[in-house]
Amino acid sequence: MNYFLQQLINGVTLGAIYGLIAIGYTMVYGIIGMINFAHGDIMMIGAFISLIAFLVIAALGVTSVPLALVLVLVCALFFTSAYGWAVERVAYRRLRGSFKLAPLISAIGMSIVLQNGVQLVQGARVKPLAPVITGGIELSGAESSYPVTLGWLQIVIILLTVALMAGFTWLIQRTSLGRAQRATEQDMGMAMLLGINVDRVISMTFVIGAALAGVAGLMVTLYYGVVDFYIGFNAGMKAFTAAVLGGIGSLPGAMLGGLLIGLIEALWSGYGSIEYKDVAVFAVLILVLMFRPSGLLGKPEVEKV
């Protein structure tokens, strides 16, 4: 039972990271109906920026861990938001009215550009980071043969994800930008006739999604302690799978899908063969889509005529 509980904690932590990345996919698809396959690489850039920021802060002599985390988070948010804005302007805006495959091909090309750009600048070797947040809460008794630990870093990741989801829900439901996003999602043409700056709304959607990916990049850097130029592809594919599993276009579905993917990976790795954890994830995705093609929380798409 202790082993199961530990894997459950690990799965929820991993799922929180996947969920944050998946929100970016589902936001862009929900508003403009396109898949941003460069989104995972934005997360990878956020991870490298976090690593560089930690090294610079350490060189400046900052020893306070909370202050260092805040400074690194601000750096990651700023740079990944800028990258998200640039991706929308370069890879999507001019292709918005083109045939459906054109933006998809452009996004894949942008993903390759970002991967190889980071590889040229940072090199292909794995970059390590010493543990920043250590320790945790012992959930099992001292007499237990298998100790269960809830790490402080895991607590930070879960609480930060919950706070971001609450803030993002408030943004969508209560602010003028959120209302403009919902109007653009329902009918882009009518939103333009009503005076909504659709280009600005779409750019802000990319910026917000990229900022969340930047936070996820910081989490990955802290959680695993290593980054490389290829982590964006792996995490991006898992997050895209989470968005589809939960229902592409549904924000709660993206988070639910992320949690399910994280739990499946953790439990399969703990009780089965770790080499086949990806097979288990995609097998569950196929089974769900066989019975619910729109995903767990997604709504069937209605064709406008």
| pLDDT single digits (tens) 191-219 | 898 889 999 999 999 999 999 999 999 99
Partners of residue 227 on adjacent β-strands:
127
Measured between alpha carbons, how far is 131 from 51 in angstroms, rounded to an integer? 12
Identify the burial level of 295 via C-beta atoms within 10 angstroms of its C-beta, where 0-12 means exposed, 13-18 middle and 19 or more buried. Answer: buried
pLDDT at 256 over 70: yes
pLDDT at 100 over 80: no
Measured between alpha carbons, how far is 228 from 128 in angstroms, rounded to an integer? 9
If residue 149 lies in a helix (H) or strand (E), which one and from where to where? strand 149-151
Which range, of 23-37, 110-124, 147-161, averages the lowest pLDDT? 23-37
Measured between alpha carbons, how far is 62 from 60 in angstroms, rounded to an integer? 6
pLDDT for 158? 93
Instruction: Report which of 271, 6, 19, 285 is spatially closest to residue 160, judged by C-alpha positions.
Output: 19
pLDDT at 115 over 80: yes
Q: For 142-169, what is the mean pLDDT? A: 85
299: CB partners within 8 A, 6+ apart: 247, 249, 250
CATH code for the part of the protein at 2-291: 1.10.3470
pLDDT for 143? 63
Domain ranges of the chain: 2-291
